[in-house]
Chains A and B, each alone.
Chain A
Protein backbone atom coordinates (compact mmCIF):
# COMPACT_ATOMS: atom_id res chain seq x y z
CA UNK A 1 0.00 0.00 0.00
CA UNK A 2 1.22 3.44 -0.86
CA UNK A 3 2.30 5.52 2.09
CA UNK A 4 -0.05 8.45 2.49
CA UNK A 5 1.46 11.91 2.47
CA UNK A 6 0.81 14.95 4.60
CA UNK A 7 -1.39 16.50 1.92
CA UNK A 8 -3.64 13.48 1.94
CA UNK A 9 -4.10 13.66 5.70
CA UNK A 10 -4.72 17.40 5.61
CA UNK A 11 -7.45 16.93 3.01
CA UNK A 12 -9.08 14.20 5.06
CA UNK A 13 -8.87 16.29 8.20
CA UNK A 14 -10.71 19.18 6.54
CA UNK A 15 -13.44 16.83 5.35
CA UNK A 16 -13.95 15.26 8.78
CA UNK A 17 -13.80 18.69 10.41
CA UNK A 18 -16.60 19.98 8.19
CA UNK A 19 -18.81 17.00 9.13
CA UNK A 20 -18.07 17.45 12.81
CA UNK A 21 -18.96 21.14 12.71
CA UNK A 22 -22.21 20.36 10.94
CA UNK A 23 -23.20 17.83 13.57
CA UNK A 24 -22.28 20.27 16.36
CA UNK A 25 -24.42 22.94 14.77
CA UNK A 26 -27.48 20.72 14.95
CA UNK A 27 -27.26 20.99 18.75
CA UNK A 28 -27.08 24.75 18.71
CA UNK A 29 -28.24 25.38 22.28
CA UNK A 30 -25.69 22.97 23.67
CA UNK A 31 -23.00 24.58 21.57
CA UNK A 32 -23.82 28.10 22.75
CA UNK A 33 -24.11 27.10 26.40
CA UNK A 34 -20.82 25.20 26.29
CA UNK A 35 -19.11 28.21 24.78
CA UNK A 36 -20.50 30.46 27.49
CA UNK A 37 -19.38 27.89 30.05
CA UNK A 38 -15.87 28.02 28.68
CA UNK A 39 -15.83 31.82 28.81
CA UNK A 40 -17.05 31.61 32.43
CA UNK A 41 -14.21 29.26 33.29
CA UNK A 42 -11.67 31.65 31.85
CA UNK A 43 -13.14 34.70 33.57
CA UNK A 44 -13.27 32.88 36.90
CA UNK A 45 -9.67 31.77 36.46
CA UNK A 46 -8.68 35.32 35.80
CA UNK A 47 -10.67 36.68 38.75
CA UNK A 48 -9.08 34.22 41.17
CA UNK A 49 -5.69 35.14 39.79
CA UNK A 50 -6.47 38.80 40.32
CA UNK A 51 -7.81 38.31 43.86
CA UNK A 52 -4.73 36.35 44.84
CA UNK A 53 -2.04 38.55 43.44
CA UNK A 54 -3.52 42.05 43.30
CA UNK A 55 -2.19 43.05 46.72
CA UNK A 56 1.34 41.77 46.21
CA UNK A 57 3.76 43.61 43.92
CA UNK A 58 5.80 40.49 43.38
CA UNK A 59 5.92 36.83 44.31
CA UNK A 60 9.29 35.20 44.55
CA UNK A 61 10.91 37.72 42.23
CA UNK A 62 8.08 37.55 39.72
CA UNK A 63 6.13 40.72 39.12
CA UNK A 64 2.35 40.73 38.76
CA UNK A 65 2.54 41.18 35.00
CA UNK A 66 5.13 38.46 34.59
CA UNK A 67 2.80 36.10 36.44
CA UNK A 68 0.03 37.26 34.14
CA UNK A 69 2.25 36.50 31.16
CA UNK A 70 2.77 32.96 32.45
CA UNK A 71 -0.97 32.63 32.90
CA UNK A 72 -1.68 33.79 29.34
CA UNK A 73 1.07 31.59 27.99
CA UNK A 74 -0.41 28.52 29.65
CA UNK A 75 -3.88 29.37 28.29
CA UNK A 76 -2.63 29.65 24.71
CA UNK A 77 -0.47 26.56 24.90
CA UNK A 78 -3.41 24.56 26.23
CA UNK A 79 -5.60 25.46 23.26
CA UNK A 80 -4.43 22.74 20.82
CA UNK A 81 -5.08 19.94 23.30
CA UNK A 82 -8.58 21.34 23.82
CA UNK A 83 -9.32 21.86 20.12
CA UNK A 84 -7.73 18.89 18.38
CA UNK A 85 -7.43 16.18 21.00
CA UNK A 86 -10.72 16.44 22.85
CA UNK A 87 -11.83 13.03 21.63
CA UNK A 88 -9.39 11.52 24.12
CA UNK A 89 -12.04 12.12 26.77
CA UNK A 90 -14.44 9.76 24.98
CA UNK A 91 -11.85 7.05 24.43
CA UNK A 92 -12.74 5.15 27.58
CA UNK A 93 -16.42 5.09 26.53
CA UNK A 94 -15.55 3.71 23.08
CA UNK A 95 -13.27 1.09 24.57
CA UNK A 96 -15.79 0.14 27.22
CA UNK A 97 -18.71 -0.22 24.84
CA UNK A 98 -16.67 -1.88 22.10
CA UNK A 99 -17.33 0.85 19.55
CA UNK A 100 -13.63 1.49 19.33
CA UNK A 101 -13.33 -1.37 16.88
CA UNK A 102 -14.78 0.78 14.10
CA UNK A 103 -11.63 2.92 14.09
CA UNK A 104 -9.45 -0.11 13.57
CA UNK A 105 -10.94 -0.88 10.17
CA UNK A 106 -10.00 2.33 8.37
CA UNK A 107 -7.11 2.36 5.91
CA UNK A 108 -5.57 5.43 7.54
CA UNK A 109 -3.57 6.00 10.68
CA UNK A 110 -5.66 4.92 13.64
CA UNK A 111 -4.49 7.66 15.99
CA UNK A 112 -5.00 10.34 13.36
CA UNK A 113 -8.45 9.14 12.46
CA UNK A 114 -9.57 8.89 16.05
CA UNK A 115 -8.37 12.36 17.05
CA UNK A 116 -9.60 14.03 13.87
CA UNK A 117 -13.16 13.03 14.57
CA UNK A 118 -13.78 15.81 17.05
CA UNK A 119 -12.81 19.44 16.79
CA UNK A 120 -13.70 21.39 19.89
CA UNK A 121 -14.54 24.96 19.01
CA UNK A 122 -14.77 25.96 22.66
CA UNK A 123 -11.00 26.02 22.76
CA UNK A 124 -10.96 29.04 20.47
CA UNK A 125 -12.48 31.22 23.18
CA UNK A 126 -9.69 30.22 25.49
CA UNK A 127 -7.21 30.98 22.73
CA UNK A 128 -8.59 34.50 22.30
CA UNK A 129 -8.57 35.04 26.05
CA UNK A 130 -4.99 33.81 26.32
CA UNK A 131 -3.77 35.97 23.45
CA UNK A 132 -5.44 39.00 25.01
CA UNK A 133 -3.77 38.33 28.35
CA UNK A 134 -0.42 37.83 26.64
CA UNK A 135 -0.62 41.09 24.69
CA UNK A 136 -1.74 43.03 27.75
CA UNK A 137 1.04 41.74 29.97
CA UNK A 138 3.52 42.06 27.09
CA UNK A 139 2.76 45.77 26.91
CA UNK A 140 2.87 46.24 30.68
CA UNK A 141 6.22 44.50 31.03
CA UNK A 142 7.54 46.55 28.13
CA UNK A 143 8.95 43.72 26.09
CA UNK A 144 10.14 44.78 22.66
CA UNK A 145 8.67 43.39 19.50
CA UNK A 146 10.88 41.94 16.77
CA UNK A 147 10.24 39.20 14.21
CA UNK A 148 12.77 37.07 16.06
CA UNK A 149 10.93 37.27 19.36
CA UNK A 150 7.67 36.43 17.60
CA UNK A 151 9.30 33.39 16.05
CA UNK A 152 10.63 32.31 19.44
CA UNK A 153 7.19 32.81 20.93
CA UNK A 154 5.53 30.63 18.30
CA UNK A 155 8.12 27.87 18.54
CA UNK A 156 7.91 27.72 22.30
CA UNK A 157 4.13 27.88 22.36
CA UNK A 158 4.03 24.85 20.07
CA UNK A 159 6.54 23.12 22.30
CA UNK A 160 4.44 23.72 25.36
CA UNK A 161 1.31 22.47 23.61
CA UNK A 162 3.04 19.26 22.56
CA UNK A 163 3.85 18.48 26.18
CA UNK A 164 0.26 18.89 27.34
CA UNK A 165 -1.01 16.88 24.37
CA UNK A 166 1.45 14.13 25.26
CA UNK A 167 0.27 14.10 28.87
CA UNK A 168 -3.39 13.83 27.87
CA UNK A 169 -2.70 11.15 25.24
CA UNK A 170 -0.87 9.02 27.73
CA UNK A 171 -3.55 9.55 30.37
CA UNK A 172 -6.32 8.61 27.94
CA UNK A 173 -4.44 5.56 26.72
CA UNK A 174 -4.40 4.07 30.20
CA UNK A 175 -8.01 3.07 29.56
CA UNK A 176 -6.81 0.25 27.34
CA UNK A 177 -5.61 -1.35 30.54
CA UNK A 178 -7.79 -0.04 33.36
CA UNK A 179 -11.00 0.76 31.36
CA UNK A 180 -12.04 3.76 33.43
CA UNK A 181 -9.36 6.32 32.74
CA UNK A 182 -11.49 9.28 33.81
CA UNK A 183 -9.71 9.75 37.11
CA UNK A 184 -6.30 9.55 35.51
CA UNK A 185 -7.34 12.13 32.92
CA UNK A 186 -8.87 14.36 35.55
CA UNK A 187 -5.62 14.22 37.46
CA UNK A 188 -3.66 15.02 34.31
CA UNK A 189 -5.99 17.90 33.53
CA UNK A 190 -5.14 19.47 36.88
CA UNK A 191 -1.59 19.84 35.56
CA UNK A 192 -2.73 22.85 33.64
CA UNK A 193 -3.72 24.64 36.83
CA UNK A 194 -0.28 24.10 38.31
CA UNK A 195 1.49 25.12 35.14
CA UNK A 196 0.71 28.77 35.59
CA UNK A 197 2.96 29.34 38.60
CA UNK A 198 6.71 29.90 38.40
CA UNK A 199 8.41 26.71 39.43
CA UNK A 200 10.80 28.61 41.71
CA UNK A 201 8.13 28.75 44.42
CA UNK A 202 8.49 25.02 44.99
CA UNK A 203 11.10 23.24 47.09
CA UNK A 204 13.96 21.55 45.16
CA UNK A 205 12.37 18.11 45.43
CA UNK A 206 9.15 19.27 43.83
CA UNK A 207 11.04 21.36 41.31
CA UNK A 208 12.69 18.12 40.20
CA UNK A 209 9.40 16.23 40.14
CA UNK A 210 7.58 18.90 38.15
CA UNK A 211 10.42 19.03 35.64
CA UNK A 212 11.34 15.42 35.04
CA UNK A 213 8.64 13.18 36.48
CA UNK A 214 5.55 15.20 35.58
CA UNK A 215 6.62 17.76 32.98
CA UNK A 216 4.30 20.50 34.30
CA UNK A 217 7.01 23.14 34.22
CA UNK A 218 7.38 22.75 30.46
CA UNK A 219 3.82 23.89 29.83
CA UNK A 220 4.53 27.51 30.65
CA UNK A 221 7.51 28.14 32.89
CA UNK A 222 10.55 26.95 30.94
CA UNK A 223 9.33 28.06 27.50
CA UNK A 224 8.33 31.53 28.68
CA UNK A 225 11.69 32.13 30.34
CA UNK A 226 13.06 32.51 26.83
CA UNK A 227 10.85 35.56 26.36
CA UNK A 228 10.74 36.95 29.89
CA UNK A 229 14.35 36.49 31.00
CA UNK A 230 16.35 36.43 27.75
CA UNK A 231 19.66 37.08 29.54
CA UNK A 232 19.38 34.15 31.85
CA UNK A 233 17.82 31.20 30.06
CA UNK A 234 18.52 27.79 31.58
CA UNK A 235 19.57 25.00 29.26
CA UNK A 236 16.28 23.22 29.94
CA UNK A 237 14.39 26.00 28.18
CA UNK A 238 16.40 25.60 25.01
CA UNK A 239 15.95 21.86 25.19
CA UNK A 240 12.19 22.09 25.65
CA UNK A 241 11.31 21.91 21.91
CA UNK A 242 13.23 18.66 21.83
CA UNK A 243 11.45 17.41 24.92
CA UNK A 244 8.13 18.42 23.41
CA UNK A 245 8.66 16.35 20.28
CA UNK A 246 10.05 13.45 22.25
CA UNK A 247 7.18 13.37 24.74
CA UNK A 248 4.65 13.63 21.97
CA UNK A 249 6.26 10.78 20.05
CA UNK A 250 6.41 8.59 23.15
CA UNK A 251 2.78 9.27 24.02
CA UNK A 252 1.79 8.44 20.44
CA UNK A 253 3.64 5.13 20.64
CA UNK A 254 2.06 4.39 24.01
CA UNK A 255 -1.40 5.17 22.67
CA UNK A 256 -0.87 2.98 19.61
CA UNK A 257 0.58 0.21 21.73
CA UNK A 258 -2.58 0.25 23.82
CA UNK A 259 -4.79 0.38 20.74
CA UNK A 260 -3.00 -2.61 19.21
CA UNK A 261 -3.52 -4.49 22.43
CA UNK A 262 -7.23 -3.77 22.22
CA UNK A 263 -9.16 -6.87 21.39
CA UNK A 264 -12.74 -5.63 21.34
CA UNK A 265 -15.52 -6.63 23.67
CA UNK A 266 -16.86 -9.39 21.53
CA UNK A 267 -20.08 -7.63 20.71
Chain B
Protein backbone atom coordinates (compact mmCIF):
# COMPACT_ATOMS: atom_id res chain seq x y z
CA UNK B 1 0.00 0.00 0.00
CA UNK B 2 1.30 3.40 -0.86
CA UNK B 3 0.80 5.63 2.12
CA UNK B 4 2.20 8.73 0.50
CA UNK B 5 -1.04 9.74 -1.17
CA UNK B 6 -2.86 9.44 2.13
CA UNK B 7 -0.37 11.60 3.99
CA UNK B 8 -0.85 14.31 1.37
CA UNK B 9 -4.47 14.45 2.52
CA UNK B 10 -3.37 14.61 6.16
CA UNK B 11 -1.13 17.53 5.38
CA UNK B 12 -3.91 19.36 3.54
CA UNK B 13 -6.18 18.79 6.52
CA UNK B 14 -3.67 20.28 8.93
CA UNK B 15 -3.25 23.35 6.77
CA UNK B 16 -6.99 23.66 6.36
CA UNK B 17 -7.67 23.63 10.09
CA UNK B 18 -5.11 26.40 10.61
CA UNK B 19 -7.34 28.56 8.42
CA UNK B 20 -10.07 28.49 11.05
CA UNK B 21 -8.29 29.80 14.11
CA UNK B 22 -11.23 31.86 15.30
CA UNK B 23 -13.49 28.83 15.12
CA UNK B 24 -11.01 26.90 17.20
CA UNK B 25 -10.90 29.66 19.79
CA UNK B 26 -14.67 29.74 20.09
CA UNK B 27 -14.67 25.98 20.44
CA UNK B 28 -12.14 26.07 23.25
CA UNK B 29 -14.18 28.77 25.02
CA UNK B 30 -17.33 26.72 24.60
CA UNK B 31 -15.61 23.68 26.04
CA UNK B 32 -14.39 25.56 29.08
CA UNK B 33 -17.92 26.76 29.70
CA UNK B 34 -19.29 23.26 29.31
CA UNK B 35 -16.71 21.84 31.70
CA UNK B 36 -17.52 24.52 34.25
CA UNK B 37 -21.17 23.56 34.18
CA UNK B 38 -20.27 19.88 34.43
CA UNK B 39 -17.98 20.57 37.38
CA UNK B 40 -20.62 22.41 39.41
CA UNK B 41 -23.38 20.00 38.48
CA UNK B 42 -21.47 16.94 39.64
CA UNK B 43 -20.23 18.76 42.70
CA UNK B 44 -23.83 19.40 43.66
CA UNK B 45 -24.70 15.77 42.97
CA UNK B 46 -21.86 14.46 45.11
CA UNK B 47 -22.66 16.99 47.84
CA UNK B 48 -26.25 15.78 48.05
CA UNK B 49 -25.37 12.09 47.90
CA UNK B 50 -23.67 12.27 51.31
CA UNK B 51 -20.91 9.82 50.41
CA UNK B 52 -17.59 10.29 48.68
CA UNK B 53 -17.96 7.34 46.35
CA UNK B 54 -21.02 7.05 44.14
CA UNK B 55 -21.34 3.93 42.00
CA UNK B 56 -17.69 3.12 42.55
CA UNK B 57 -16.44 6.48 41.32
CA UNK B 58 -15.14 9.38 43.39
CA UNK B 59 -15.81 12.98 42.45
CA UNK B 60 -12.39 13.42 40.91
CA UNK B 61 -12.75 10.12 39.00
CA UNK B 62 -16.03 11.30 37.51
CA UNK B 63 -14.62 14.69 36.67
CA UNK B 64 -11.51 13.32 34.98
CA UNK B 65 -13.72 10.89 33.09
CA UNK B 66 -16.05 13.58 31.81
CA UNK B 67 -13.33 16.10 30.99
CA UNK B 68 -11.41 13.55 28.98
CA UNK B 69 -14.60 12.29 27.36
CA UNK B 70 -15.21 15.81 26.08
CA UNK B 71 -11.63 16.05 24.86
CA UNK B 72 -11.99 12.66 23.15
CA UNK B 73 -15.24 13.77 21.57
CA UNK B 74 -13.62 16.86 20.05
CA UNK B 75 -10.81 14.69 18.82
CA UNK B 76 -12.98 11.99 17.30
CA UNK B 77 -15.94 13.92 15.93
CA UNK B 78 -15.46 13.95 12.19
CA UNK B 79 -18.83 15.19 10.94
CA UNK B 80 -18.57 12.37 8.42
CA UNK B 81 -22.34 12.04 8.18
CA UNK B 82 -22.62 15.68 7.13
CA UNK B 83 -19.80 15.32 4.66
CA UNK B 84 -21.25 12.23 3.00
CA UNK B 85 -24.77 13.63 3.02
CA UNK B 86 -23.72 16.92 1.49
CA UNK B 87 -21.59 15.23 -1.13
CA UNK B 88 -24.60 13.17 -2.14
CA UNK B 89 -26.96 16.14 -2.21
CA UNK B 90 -24.63 18.39 -4.15
CA UNK B 91 -23.39 15.68 -6.49
CA UNK B 92 -19.79 16.16 -5.41
CA UNK B 93 -19.72 12.45 -4.58
CA UNK B 94 -19.22 11.69 -8.26
CA UNK B 95 -15.85 13.42 -8.18
CA UNK B 96 -14.90 11.74 -4.90
CA UNK B 97 -15.72 8.32 -6.31
CA UNK B 98 -13.42 8.94 -9.25
CA UNK B 99 -10.43 9.53 -6.97
CA UNK B 100 -7.74 6.85 -7.12
CA UNK B 101 -8.57 5.51 -3.65
CA UNK B 102 -11.64 4.06 -2.00
CA UNK B 103 -14.13 6.72 -0.91
CA UNK B 104 -14.03 5.41 2.61
CA UNK B 105 -10.29 5.90 2.93
CA UNK B 106 -10.44 9.22 1.13
CA UNK B 107 -12.91 10.60 3.65
CA UNK B 108 -11.00 9.20 6.60
CA UNK B 109 -7.66 10.54 5.51
CA UNK B 110 -8.99 13.96 4.63
CA UNK B 111 -9.99 14.14 8.26
CA UNK B 112 -6.77 12.78 9.63
CA UNK B 113 -5.23 16.24 9.48
CA UNK B 114 -7.87 17.46 11.87
CA UNK B 115 -7.01 14.51 14.12
CA UNK B 116 -3.45 15.74 14.36
CA UNK B 117 -4.33 19.38 15.08
CA UNK B 118 -7.11 18.46 17.48
CA UNK B 119 -4.82 16.10 19.34
CA UNK B 120 -2.26 18.81 19.95
CA UNK B 121 -4.71 21.69 20.33
CA UNK B 122 -7.30 20.13 22.61
CA UNK B 123 -6.62 16.61 23.80
CA UNK B 124 -3.01 16.91 24.93
CA UNK B 125 -3.43 20.25 26.77
CA UNK B 126 -6.58 18.99 28.47
CA UNK B 127 -4.84 15.78 29.48
CA UNK B 128 -1.83 17.61 30.92
CA UNK B 129 -4.01 20.12 32.76
CA UNK B 130 -6.11 17.31 34.23
CA UNK B 131 -2.96 15.48 35.35
CA UNK B 132 -1.51 18.55 37.00
CA UNK B 133 -4.71 19.87 38.57
CA UNK B 134 -5.78 16.56 40.07
CA UNK B 135 -2.27 15.97 41.38
CA UNK B 136 -1.67 12.44 40.18
CA UNK B 137 -5.22 11.12 40.23
CA UNK B 138 -4.58 9.91 36.71
CA UNK B 139 -2.32 6.89 37.05
CA UNK B 140 0.60 7.07 34.65
CA UNK B 141 1.95 3.66 33.80
CA UNK B 142 1.33 0.73 31.54
CA UNK B 143 -2.33 1.82 31.35
CA UNK B 144 -1.29 4.70 29.05
CA UNK B 145 -0.17 2.20 26.44
CA UNK B 146 -3.45 0.28 26.69
CA UNK B 147 -5.28 3.61 26.48
CA UNK B 148 -3.60 4.53 23.20
CA UNK B 149 -4.43 1.15 21.67
CA UNK B 150 -7.97 1.50 22.92
CA UNK B 151 -8.38 5.00 21.48
CA UNK B 152 -7.16 3.88 18.07
CA UNK B 153 -9.82 1.18 18.02
CA UNK B 154 -12.40 3.65 19.33
CA UNK B 155 -11.62 5.95 16.40
CA UNK B 156 -12.15 3.09 13.96
CA UNK B 157 -15.43 2.05 15.59
CA UNK B 158 -16.67 5.62 15.70
CA UNK B 159 -15.76 6.17 12.08
CA UNK B 160 -17.45 2.95 10.98
CA UNK B 161 -20.66 3.97 12.73
CA UNK B 162 -20.44 7.43 11.17
CA UNK B 163 -19.80 5.96 7.76
CA UNK B 164 -22.73 3.59 8.04
CA UNK B 165 -24.99 6.41 9.14
CA UNK B 166 -23.74 8.51 6.26
CA UNK B 167 -24.52 5.69 3.86
CA UNK B 168 -28.15 5.77 4.97
CA UNK B 169 -28.28 9.29 3.49
CA UNK B 170 -28.08 7.69 0.06
CA UNK B 171 -31.57 6.34 0.63
CA UNK B 172 -33.16 9.15 2.60
CA UNK B 173 -31.43 12.28 1.30
CA UNK B 174 -32.02 13.62 4.77
CA UNK B 175 -28.98 14.62 6.79
CA UNK B 176 -30.09 16.53 9.83
CA UNK B 177 -32.50 13.93 11.18
CA UNK B 178 -30.21 10.96 10.58
CA UNK B 179 -27.23 12.72 12.07
CA UNK B 180 -29.01 13.89 15.19
CA UNK B 181 -30.35 10.39 15.86
CA UNK B 182 -26.89 8.90 15.54
CA UNK B 183 -25.31 11.57 17.69
CA UNK B 184 -27.89 11.29 20.46
CA UNK B 185 -27.66 7.50 20.59
CA UNK B 186 -23.87 7.39 20.50
CA UNK B 187 -23.34 10.12 23.08
CA UNK B 188 -25.80 8.64 25.55
CA UNK B 189 -25.06 4.92 25.19
CA UNK B 190 -21.30 5.30 24.90
CA UNK B 191 -21.10 6.93 28.31
CA UNK B 192 -19.81 10.23 26.91
CA UNK B 193 -22.29 12.39 28.85
CA UNK B 194 -22.77 10.15 31.90
CA UNK B 195 -20.30 7.42 32.92
CA UNK B 196 -21.84 4.00 32.35
CA UNK B 197 -21.16 3.15 36.00
CA UNK B 198 -24.10 5.43 36.85
CA UNK B 199 -26.56 3.61 34.60
CA UNK B 200 -29.24 1.50 36.25
CA UNK B 201 -28.46 -2.24 36.19
CA UNK B 202 -30.74 -3.37 33.29
CA UNK B 203 -29.57 -0.53 31.08
CA UNK B 204 -25.95 -1.25 31.93
CA UNK B 205 -26.44 -4.85 30.86
CA UNK B 206 -28.14 -3.81 27.63
CA UNK B 207 -25.37 -1.33 26.82
CA UNK B 208 -22.67 -3.96 27.37
CA UNK B 209 -23.98 -5.83 24.34
CA UNK B 210 -23.74 -2.76 22.11
CA UNK B 211 -20.72 -1.35 20.30
CA UNK B 212 -21.16 2.20 21.59
CA UNK B 213 -19.50 1.81 24.96
CA UNK B 214 -16.27 0.82 23.20
CA UNK B 215 -16.00 4.40 21.94
CA UNK B 216 -15.77 6.35 25.17
CA UNK B 217 -16.32 4.15 28.19
CA UNK B 218 -13.70 1.49 27.44
CA UNK B 219 -10.70 3.77 26.76
CA UNK B 220 -11.51 6.01 29.71
CA UNK B 221 -12.06 3.14 32.13
CA UNK B 222 -8.76 1.64 31.06
CA UNK B 223 -7.01 4.95 31.61
CA UNK B 224 -8.47 5.49 35.08
CA UNK B 225 -7.57 2.01 36.27
CA UNK B 226 -4.01 2.38 37.60
CA UNK B 227 -3.25 -1.23 38.44
CA UNK B 228 -5.03 -3.15 35.73
CA UNK B 229 -5.36 -6.91 35.85
CA UNK B 230 -4.22 -8.36 32.57
CA UNK B 231 -7.42 -10.29 31.96
CA UNK B 232 -9.79 -7.32 32.47
CA UNK B 233 -7.81 -5.14 30.08
CA UNK B 234 -7.45 -7.91 27.55
CA UNK B 235 -11.14 -8.72 27.60
CA UNK B 236 -12.04 -5.04 27.22
CA UNK B 237 -9.64 -4.67 24.31
CA UNK B 238 -10.89 -7.94 22.88
CA UNK B 239 -14.47 -6.70 22.86
CA UNK B 240 -13.28 -3.54 21.13
CA UNK B 241 -11.35 -5.50 18.53
CA UNK B 242 -14.42 -7.65 17.92
CA UNK B 243 -16.61 -4.60 17.25
CA UNK B 244 -13.86 -3.02 15.18
CA UNK B 245 -13.81 -5.94 12.79
CA UNK B 246 -17.57 -6.49 12.72
CA UNK B 247 -18.36 -2.83 12.07
CA UNK B 248 -15.62 -2.47 9.48
CA UNK B 249 -17.02 -5.39 7.54
CA UNK B 250 -20.66 -4.34 7.86
CA UNK B 251 -20.04 -0.70 6.94
CA UNK B 252 -17.96 -1.74 3.94
CA UNK B 253 -20.56 -4.18 2.68
CA UNK B 254 -23.37 -1.70 3.27
CA UNK B 255 -21.51 0.97 1.33
CA UNK B 256 -20.69 -1.37 -1.57
CA UNK B 257 -24.30 -2.46 -1.74
CA UNK B 258 -25.69 1.07 -1.53
CA UNK B 259 -23.32 2.53 -4.05
CA UNK B 260 -25.26 0.75 -6.76
CA UNK B 261 -28.43 2.55 -5.73
CA UNK B 262 -26.97 6.02 -5.69
CA UNK B 263 -28.77 8.69 -7.65
CA UNK B 264 -27.17 12.04 -8.16
CA UNK B 265 -29.26 15.04 -9.05
CA UNK B 266 -27.28 17.29 -11.30
CA UNK B 267 -23.83 17.78 -9.89
Contacts and interface: CB of A to CB of B under 8 A. Distances in A.
Contacts of B188: 44, 47-48
A57 B37 CA distance: 21
A37 B33 contact: no
B262 to A, nearest CB: 16
Nearest to A202: B40
B122 to A, nearest CB: 14
Given A35-B177, A48-B193, A184-B26, A29 B40 contact: no
A190 B30 contact: yes
Interface string A174-210: 0000101011101100100110010001110010000
A206 B36 contact: yes
Contacts of A202: 40
Contacts of B142: none
Contacts of B30: 183, 186-187, 190
A180 B35 CA distance: 24
A36 interface: yes
Interface in B7-28: 20, 22-23, 26-27
A62 to B, nearest CB: 9
B34 interface: yes
A151 interface: no
A178 B22 CA distance: 9
Contact of A52 (B29, B173, B180, B198): B198
Contact of A51 (B26, B33, B34, B200): B200
B3 interface: no
B44 A60 contact: yes
Interface in B172-190: 172-174, 176-181, 184-185, 187-188
Contact of B173 (A30, A37, A180, A186): A30
A41 interface: yes
Contacts of A52: 45, 194, 198
A56 B45 contact: yes
A59 interface: yes
Contact of B37 (A180, A182, A186, A194): A194
A33 interface: yes
B137 interface: no
A56 B194 contact: no
A180 B20 contact: yes
A54 interface: yes
Contacts of B179: 37
A116 to B, nearest CB: 21
A184 B198 CA distance: 32
A57 B179 CA distance: 35
A53 B194 CA distance: 11
Contact of B48 (A60, A178, A184, A190): A60
Interface in B139-182: 172-174, 176-181
Contacts of A180: 20, 22-23
A121 interface: no
Q: Which of B40, B54, B172, B194 has the most CB of A within 10 A?
A: B40
Contact of B23 (A27, A54, A183): A183
A187 B22 CA distance: 13
A197 B29 CA distance: 20
A58 interface: yes
Contacts of B254: none
A265 interface: no
Contacts of B29: 187
A40 B54 CA distance: 28
A16 interface: no
12 contacts: A29-B173, A30-B177, A37-B181, A38-B180, A40-B180, A40-B181, A44-B187, A51-B194, A183-B23, A187-B33, A194-B33, A201-B43
Given A44-B187, A52-B198, A201-B44, 11 more contacts: A29-B174, A33-B174, A34-B180, A40-B180, A44-B184, A51-B194, A55-B54, A183-B22, A183-B27, A190-B33, A190-B34
Interface of A: 27, 29-30, 33-38, 40-41, 44, 47-48, 51-60, 178, 180, 182-184, 186-187, 190, 193-194, 197, 201-203, 206
Top-3 shortest CB links A-B? A33-B177, A30-B174, A37-B177
